[in-house]
């Protein structure tokens, strides 16, 4: 009861100093106005609230208080007791109690503030939040060090401070290891040198050592994810699957709902199964991942791109069409240019599948696509240089596919000449192996006069090399294949066989 009484008294004193009650009605009116008009600007709001289209001092003051009110409301809603079960939301709840503890202390309610500091410390230990534990221990150290001296209690606090400081340092290392690895990957467009791979391996080794000592949510999830990333990058998919599966078991055993760690582990399991060509198993895990994410978010668009590749390889054309339709008609797609650009290419490929009669007519009737024009498509897509060479090749190959459909063989040769020039200019590194291999196959197709049997004979060894090489799926990579080259080649051969009949 003492804590509740202290909180009431402090609240009364704070309310006396603030004048929000003067703005209460206007704030409610302003919030309702914002809820009803998403596109409202300052001039319109000021006119409705104050009858003046020019921004007035009163409106500026109201706007400031509205920002304060909404932040307070948001903090209050997020930091509810039930959220202690979430590793993402629980720090908000603890931060709230910790801030109130400081407020009570400054208002001379020391005993009550120490009670709350102790409460937050206990929860911080339970939830493995070291930085929060250190904050509470610092306040308690001062109290038991010289305000109410207690040597036994002080020595225990000092020992705990050292332990949680070490844990926090360990978390920082793991965060830095992930940031360094991700930075190298992004800056090199997915193509990592042997030196960089060695650096990442060293980071993985150290983070796994840290994980053995400190089993916090963050350390376990991040160390496992970094380890999966390394083995995935070097092509050891069996090891990657083992790591992702063990990670899911580890994280699921936590008392808190480590949602992101579970999501990441399940996604990694799906990806590993995809690369191991276990497409049905991969589909099962992708469906579990979809159940965890919100439609139209960045994570959703990221996963749809991965699932798309799985459906292509599983030859699940109806599912592929429905997935593509759902993405292309999602209003949030335009918010993510990198995904929008890639799905624009997939849309063209979808029209190719329709013309190849791969999609059931009932599915097409229920979910009609916009009409497709190859010329409009060519004019609408930006042709990048070496930064997006995988995407550029996809653009040219889509044109070749439609030219094959329309029997425009002379234009096909022109497009392949363009690809050849592109190869000499940009594709001369190890990480462009698949692109080089595929373009060489197209050149052999021309040498074979587009005859299906001769084309398959001329490209047999190249086809095997392509099949056995590592597909790059990350959207940040310069070599990302919007549509896998080996599958495109299968479609080309099928088209040549149709045209040769």
d(CA 139, CA 135): 7
Of the ranges 26-35, 97-106, 186-195, 281-290, the best mean pLDDT one: 281-290
pLDDT (0 to 100) of residue 260? 84
Mean pLDDT, range 263-275, rounded to an integer:
95
Position 272 scores a pLDDT of 96
Predicted local distance difference test score (pLDDT) of residue 212: 94
Task: Identify which has the larger pLDDT, 415 or 79.
Answer: 415
Count CB neighbours of 331 within 10 A.
Answer: 7
Instruction: Tell me the per-residue pLDDT of 380-399, one tens digit each, with 9 for 90 and over.
Output: 776 554 445 556 777 888 88
pLDDT score of 467 more than 60: yes
Residue 351 has pLDDT above 80, yes or no: yes
Statement: residue 463 has pLDDT above 60: yes
CA dihedral over 443, 448, 451, 452, signed as positive or negative: negative
Tell whether the model's pLDDT for residue 274 goes beyond 70: yes
Q: What's the Cα-to-Cα distance from 20 to each of 103, 391, 452, rounded to whole Å?
A: 19, 55, 79
Taking the C-alpha atoms of residue 428 and residue 234, their distance in angstroms, rounded to an integer, is: 20
- Give the pLDDT band of residue 478 (cuts 50, 70, 90): very low
pLDDT value of residue 190: 57
pLDDT tens digits, one per residue of 189-233: 656 889 999 999 999 999 999 999 998 889 999 999 999 999 998
Q: How far apart are CA 19 and CA 10, in angstroms?
A: 16
Helix orientation angle between 279-290 and 259-275, rounded to the nearest 10 degrees = 160
pLDDT score of 80: 63
Higher pLDDT, 161 or 486: 161
Q: Which of 21-25, 223-227, 486-490 has the highest mean pLDDT?
A: 223-227
Q: What pLDDT, on the 0 to 100 scale, is given for residue 156?
A: 97
Query: From the centroid of its chain, how far is CA 362?
Result: 34
Range scoring the smallest mean pLDDT among 88-102, 172-186, 269-283, 466-480 = 466-480
- In the chain, what percentage of residues exceed pLDDT 70? 88
On the CB side of 456, CA atoms within 13 Å amount to 10
For residue 17, the model assigns a pLDDT of 65
How high is the pLDDT of residue 199?
95
Question: Model confidence at 147, in pLDDT bands (50, 70, 90)?
Answer: very high
- Whether residue 168 has pLDDT greater than 60: yes
Q: Tens of pLDDT along 61-94?
A: 888 888 888 777 777 776 665 566 666 677 888 8
More confident residue, 32 or 283: 283
Q: What mean pLDDT value characterizes the chain? A: 85
Q: Burial level of 177, CB count in 10 A (0-12/13-18/19+)?
A: buried
Residue among 463, 395, 474, 387 at smallest CA distance from 425: 387
Q: In angstroms, what CA-CA distances link 46 with 23, 29, 56, 95, 161?
A: 15, 12, 7, 35, 52
Residue 433 CA to residue 388 CA, distance in Å, equals 15
Top-confidence residue, 31 or 291 = 291
pLDDT over threshold 80, residue 188: no
Choose among 84, 65, 178, 182: nearest CA to 126: 84
Highest mean pLDDT among 8-17, 58-67, 160-169: 160-169
Q: Write down the pLDDT at residue 214.
A: 94
Q: In the predicted model, is pLDDT for residue 342 greater than 80?
A: yes
Of 448, 392, 435, 381, residue with least CA distance to 415? 392
% of the chain residues with pLDDT over 90: 41
CA distance readout (Å), 18 to 13, 59, 104, 148, 347: 9, 18, 18, 34, 57
For 62-96, b/e burial (b = at least 16 CB within 10 A) is bbebbeebeeeeeeeeebeeebbebbebbbbbbbb
Range 377-403 burial, b when 16+ CB lie within 10 A, else e? beeebeeeeeebbbbbbbbbbbbbbbb
Whether the CB-CB separation of 488 and 438 falls below 8 Å is answered with yes
Model confidence pLDDT, tens digit, residues 314-338: 999 999 999 999 999 999 999 998 8
Q: What is the pTM of this model?
A: 0.79
User: What does the pLDDT average to over 263-276?
Assistant: 95
């Amino acid at each position: 009861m003492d804590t509740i009484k202290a909180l009431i008294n402090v609240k009364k004193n704070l309310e006396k100093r603030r004048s929000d009650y003067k703005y209460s009605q206007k704030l409610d009116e302003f919030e309702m106005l914002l809820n009803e008009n998403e596109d409202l600007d300052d001039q319109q709001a000021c006119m409705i609230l104050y009858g003046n289209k020019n921004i007035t001092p009163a409106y500026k003051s109201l706007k400031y208080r509205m920002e304060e009110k909404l932040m307070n409301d948001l903090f209050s809603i997020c930091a509810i007791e039930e959220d202690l079960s979430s590793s993402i939301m629980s720090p908000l709840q603890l931060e709230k109690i910790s801030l109130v503890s400081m407020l009570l202390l400054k208002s001379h309610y020391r005993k009550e503030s120490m009670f709350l500091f102790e409460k937050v410390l206990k929860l911080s230990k339970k939830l493995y939040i070291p930085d929060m534990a250190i904050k509470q221990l610092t306040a308690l150290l001062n109290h038991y060090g010289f305000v109410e001296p207690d040597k036994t209690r002080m020595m225990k606090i000092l020992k705990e401070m050292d332990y949680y400081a070490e844990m926090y340092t360990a978390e920082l290392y793991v965060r830095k290891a992930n940031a360094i690895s991700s930075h190298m990957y992004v800056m090199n467009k997915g193509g990592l040198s042997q030196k960089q791979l060695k650096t990442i391996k060293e980071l993985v080794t150290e983070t796994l050592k840290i994980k053995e000592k400190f089993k916090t949510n963050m350390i376990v999830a991040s160390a496992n994810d970094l380890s999966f990333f390394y083995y995935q990058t070097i092509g050891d998919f069996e090891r990657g699957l083992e790591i992702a599966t063990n990670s899911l078991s580890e994280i699921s055993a936590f008392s808190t709902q480590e949602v992101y760690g579970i999501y990441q582990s399940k996604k990694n399991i799906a990806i590993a199964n995809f690369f191991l060509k276990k497409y049905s198993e991969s589909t099962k895990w992708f469906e579990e991942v979809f159940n965890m994410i919100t439609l139209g978010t960045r994570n959703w668009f990221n996963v749809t791109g991965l699932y798309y590749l799985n459906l292509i390889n599983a030859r699940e054309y109806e599912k592929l069409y429905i997935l593509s339709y759902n993405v292309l008609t999602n209003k949030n797609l335009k918010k993510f240019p990198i995904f929008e650009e890639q799905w624009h290419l997939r849309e063209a490929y979808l029209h190719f599948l329709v013309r190849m009669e791969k999609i059931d007519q009932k599915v097409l009737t229920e979910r009609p696509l916009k009409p497709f024009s190859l010329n409009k498509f060519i004019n609408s897509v930006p042709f990048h240089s070496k930064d997006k060479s995988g995407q550029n090749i996809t653009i040219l190959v889509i044109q070749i596919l439609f030219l094959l459909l329309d029997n425009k063989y002379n234009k096909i040769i022109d497009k392949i000449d363009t690809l050849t020039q592109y190869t000499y200019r940009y594709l001369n590194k190890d990480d462009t192996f698949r692109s080089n291999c595929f373009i060489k196959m197209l050149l052999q197709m021309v040498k074979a006069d587009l005859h299906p049997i001769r084309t398959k004979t001329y490209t047999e060894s190249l086809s095997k090399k392509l099949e056995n090489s590592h597909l790059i799926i990350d959207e940040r990579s310069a070599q990302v294949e919007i549509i896998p080259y080996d599958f495109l080649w299968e479609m080309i051969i099928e088209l040549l066989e149709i045209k040769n009949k």
